[in-house]
């Protein structure tokens, strides 16, 4: 007898995360998406892994992830509705042996499919797993102040990171590896997915100019916390914009990093 999938920890985590992201104003309407790499054995406690509901083209060659299982938000689905009806808004897929299709094991009860950013997510999973075998989460959202700060700053990731570090003492401690920044690109394409994945080899956070941010992590709390800290810091920056008298000196940023035994991204601090 299989356990109730709606009681699975990973389903509950997706429900809680999407509800919080909507409540915080990060994911309006059907904006934003999450993909979560699951353990096969754990999924097997809830689903018959030999039962494939249907297959869905991935839109790119995901051979590096063959056999991997993900729970993913669906295209056109509203984060505010996930908690009310997980099976309608979420799906569990396994990358098939051909690497170009995904096998639906559960979810999208209306016949839907994964987010249009699925290729970008999978490419980012590949990149992060190459540098961190414990990586599990890719989270994309549209946090207001992060987008606003990005709009008034140069498209320069070291400059953007430095401004964040100067605005909040927590920033360098939470993301000493910095924040990657991409220029404005068409979302939902393989091109932006490839560019994001390249940044993900060095960063856990990547800003899409005029659009939003990608955050990654070993678990939901880490990915959420990274975005949460950038957004809080960007809010401080924007509220003080044009009135700033005090910023955190580079000397203090270095001392904060040393206190926590962290190595800040090179080429930023004097």
The domain segmentation of the chain, as residue ranges, is 1-116, 117-264
Residue 20 has pLDDT above 90, yes or no: yes
Distance CA 174, CA 67 (A): 32
pLDDT for residue 1: 85
Decide: 91 and 71 in contact? Cβ < 8 Å. Answer: yes
Q: Catalytic annotation on 28?
A: no
Topology alike, domains 1-116 and 117-264: yes
Q: What string of DSSP letters covers 77-88?
A: --HHHHTT-HHH
Q: Domain 1-116 is in which class? A: alpha beta
pLDDT in tens, 99-157: 999 999 999 999 999 999 999 999 999 999 999 999 999 999 999 999 999 999 999 99
Q: What is the pTM of this model?
A: 0.95
The predicted model gives 243-270 an average pLDDT of: 94
Torsion of CA 38, 127, 140, 189, to 10 degrees: -110
Percentage of the residues of the chain whose pLDDT score is greater than 70: 100
Q: Which of 117, 222, 228, 231 is the catalytic position?
A: 117
pLDDT for residue 86: 98
Q: Domain 117-264 is in which class? A: alpha beta
């Amino acid at each position: 007898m299989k356990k109730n999938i709606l009681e699975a920890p990973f389903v509950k985590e997706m429900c809680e995360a999407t509800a919080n992201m909507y409540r915080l104003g990060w994911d309006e309407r059907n904006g934003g998406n999450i993909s979560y790499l699951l353990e096969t054995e754990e999924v097997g406690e809830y689903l018959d892994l030999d039962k494939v509901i249907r297959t869905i083209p991935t839109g790119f060659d995901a051979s590096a992830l063959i056999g991997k299982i993900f729970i993913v938000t669906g295209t056109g689905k509203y984060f505010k509705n996930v908690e009310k009806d997980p099976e309608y808004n979420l799906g569990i897929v396994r990358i098939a042996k051909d690497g170009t299709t995904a096998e639906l094991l559960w979810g999208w009860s209306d016949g839907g499919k994964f987010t249009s950013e699925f290729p970008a997510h999978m490419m980012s999973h590949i990149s992060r797993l190459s540098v961190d075998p414990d990586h599990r989460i890719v989270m994309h959202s549209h946090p207001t102040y992060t987008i606003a700060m990005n709009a008034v700053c140069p498209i320069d990731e070291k400059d953007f990171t430095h401004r964040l570090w100067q605005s909040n003492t927590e920033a360098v401690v939470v993301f000493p590896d910095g924040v990657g920044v991409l220029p404005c690109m068409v979302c939902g394409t393989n091109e932006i997915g490839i560019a994001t994945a390249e940044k993900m080899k060095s960063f856990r956070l990547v800003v899409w100019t005029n659009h939003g941010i990608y955050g990654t992590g070993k678990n939901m709390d880490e990915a959420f916390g990274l975005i949460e800290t950038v957004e809080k810091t960007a809010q401080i920056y924007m509220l003080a914009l044009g009135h700033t008298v005090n910023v955190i000196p580079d000397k203090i940023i270095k001392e904060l990093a040393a206190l926590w035994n962290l190595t800040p991204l090179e080429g930023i601090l004097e």
